[in-house]
Structure 1
Amino acid sequence: MEKELKKKQDYRFKIANREALIGVALAVFNFIWWFAFAYGLGGRTPENYSYVFGLPAWFFYSCVLGFVVMTLLVIIIVKVWFVDVPLDEEEGE
């Protein structure tokens, strides 16, 4: 029965699972980036904050720069590792 199940499983599921794991990894990386800068630099008293472009450094690095980094990462990963798969039924099924 397992052989039949593996035989019937579509190759697109393997691609979709790989791409889903990449998406989860990107989300985890985004959270770690945001948390590290927001609470790492933002854990001080406001009198001791440093500023970048008029914004507190913790906010700039976690939210502004983090957005730019994540946008570039998503673009690169989609262009390099994601593939087009047909979504219609295959002939002969």
Structure 2
Amino acid sequence: MYAVIFKAEVAAFDAEYFATAAKMRDSAISQYGCRDFIACTEGNMEIAISYWDSEAQIKAWKQDLDHIAAQQLGKAKWYKSYSVEITEIVRAYHSQP
């Protein structure tokens, strides 16, 4: 399993951002096999982590035309800076409910 970690310094969010983010999350899950997608914002920092079975899924998602358009809007309007890390999960632990 792989995780994509997106970290960003927020410039400003608007209604278009929230609609686009929801659409991108739904698309990643329904069309590209993303297992989970978690995002949170604190102050002017945002972090999003998505989980995938393969690097091929991640690459396909990166090449999605709507995702590319959303990235361009992010660079132009919503983020001052960002970074993306792709990691392979070697081991995972969970507590019992």
Q: Rg: which structure is higher? A: 1
Higher helix share: 1
- Scaled to the shorter chain, the TM-score interval is 0.3 to 0.5
Report the TM-score when normalising by structure 1: 0.33
Structure with higher strand content: 2
TM score, norm. by length of structure 2 = 0.32
Name which structure has the greater RCO, CA cutoff 8 Å, separation 6+: 2
